[in-house]
Amino acid sequence: MLNDLESKLQSLLERNITSVSELESWLSEELRLNAEIEEELTINLIAMYRDTKDSNIRDIHMYNQNEIQPLLKRYNAKFDQKFRDCPFSDLLDEQKYGFMKKARFVKSEMFNEKNIALSVKEQELITKYREIMSNISINWEGEQKTYAYVKARIDNPNRAIREKAWYALCEARSIVK
């Protein structure tokens, strides 16, 4: 999968752009490819949080996090740089592409390869936190409910329910080591 993905990204990166219309086509293709990849990553992420005990699903998620995401970050930085360097980017319609152009220029200036490792570590910690939180169950009115279910009760207009939820959440968090 990684080799196939990398070849698609590399092919897009190496595409020759000789006009404004080709640049617009390249931008559309980049958007489509990124959306396709993000959809797959999101499907795997949701599957992981629905069943945190399934080691196969968790392994797929960790692979995405440790291999696919860093690869995407590197290629997105290269795409931003390609866009910046393209002589036709200045000729794009400012009304349609102005915000995107500014965002890409800023992202390109801010990109630092060293931050990718930090981002991977951050995602690992977020995953661990979400696994812990998704496994917390709280006794709510005689039934076992998820942490998220009880947390949603904090928005209830009834003060007694909000208070009960707040104390239940505090107790649940105090048990986590």
Query: Predicted confidence band at 132 (pLDDT cuts at 50, 70, 90)?
Result: confident
Average pLDDT, stretch 38-51?
Answer: 90
Query: Predicted confidence band at 52 (pLDDT cuts at 50, 70, 90)?
Result: confident
On the CB side of 163, CA atoms within 13 Å amount to: 3
The pLDDT value given to residue 56: 94
Give the residue extent of every domain in the chain: 2-134, 137-175
The pLDDT value given to residue 101: 96
Q: How many CB atoms lie within 10 A of CB 80?
A: 19
Q: Examine the pLDDT at 177 and tell me if it is beyond 80.
A: no
Average pLDDT, stretch 12-27?
Answer: 98
Average pLDDT, stretch 60-78?
Answer: 95
pTM: 0.79
The pLDDT value given to residue 3: 84
Please report, rounded to a whole number, the percentage of residues in the chain having pLDDT higher than 70.
99
The pLDDT value given to residue 175: 87
Q: Examine the pLDDT at 46 and tell me if it is beyond 80.
A: yes
DSSP H stretches of helix in 15-146: 20-50, 55-63, 69-85, 94-110, 114-134
The pLDDT value given to residue 1: 66
Q: Examine the pLDDT at 130 and tell me if it is beyond 90.
A: no
CATH for the stretch 2-134: 1.20.140
Q: Examine the pLDDT at 13 and tell me if it is beyond 90.
A: yes
Average pLDDT, stretch 141-154?
Answer: 94
The pLDDT value given to residue 113: 94
